[in-house]
Amino acid sequence: MAQMYKALKAAGRSPDAACLTAVSKNQPWEVIEPVLKAGQRRFGENRVQEAMERWGDRRALYPDLELRLIGPLQSNKAAEAVAFFDVIESLDRDKIVRVIADEIQKAGKAPVLYVQVNIGEEPQKSGVLPAETDAFLAACRGYGLTIAGLMCIPPVEGPRGPYFALLKKIADRNGITHLSMGMSDDFETAIAFGSTEIRVGSAIFGAR
């Protein structure tokens, strides 16, 4: 957290301009619990079922807990995801958008929604291609969805700044203010380019 504030200060941004998501996926509870008790309330999970098993009985103990789905979402898990998560960061294809829109209508509640952008156009990664993101956002809105933010995971090799700058540019022209970008090894750079949410796992919990 101190490093995040330092990066925000270096970027000339307010201390509350970005928030921290602790990536708890695949972590044992004995590692997560001390972080939770220290005051962290925002956690990122990759899988719907794993998150429900880990947090389901504990949510009542922490009413200010915020759970974010940061991994790929399968359409057969959409109903559970809508009911369980506060934020879904990984909308990435038309089918899942349609299913999410239907489930929101049925449930009468909506999680905060982000679109995942495959910012480096890598075939092994999920996400909408940058050149197709404007049209995808328009399609989401056509289904009645409010898209609050964009999320990306840049390529491991090379500088990350140009990818973060591109995501910011896409967000700006679409009137989107929330950017989930930056992880343990590049969050300072992401903050310099306007990230509002950083996702940190190993820097908090250690290597899995």
- Residue numbers in the chain where pLDDT is lower than 50: none
The reported pLDDT for the residue numbered 203 is 84
Q: Give Dmax over CA atoms of the chain in angstroms.
A: 45
What was the pLDDT predicted at 208? Answer: 58
Q: Which two tokens stand for residue 93?
A: 């294809």
CA 192 – CA 161 distance, rounded (Å): 9
pLDDT value for 206 = 74
Distance from C-alpha of 116 to C-alpha of 128, rounded to nearest angstrom: 6
Amino acid letter, 169: K
Q: Please, what CATH class does the domain formed by 2-205 belong to?
A: alpha beta
Q: Which residues of 58-78 are buried (b: 16+ CB within 10 A; e: fewer)?
A: eeeeeeebebbbbbbbeeebb
Place of tokens 């896409």: 170
pLDDT tens readout for residues 58-109: 988 999 999 999 999 999 999 999 999 999 999 999 999 999 999 999 999 9
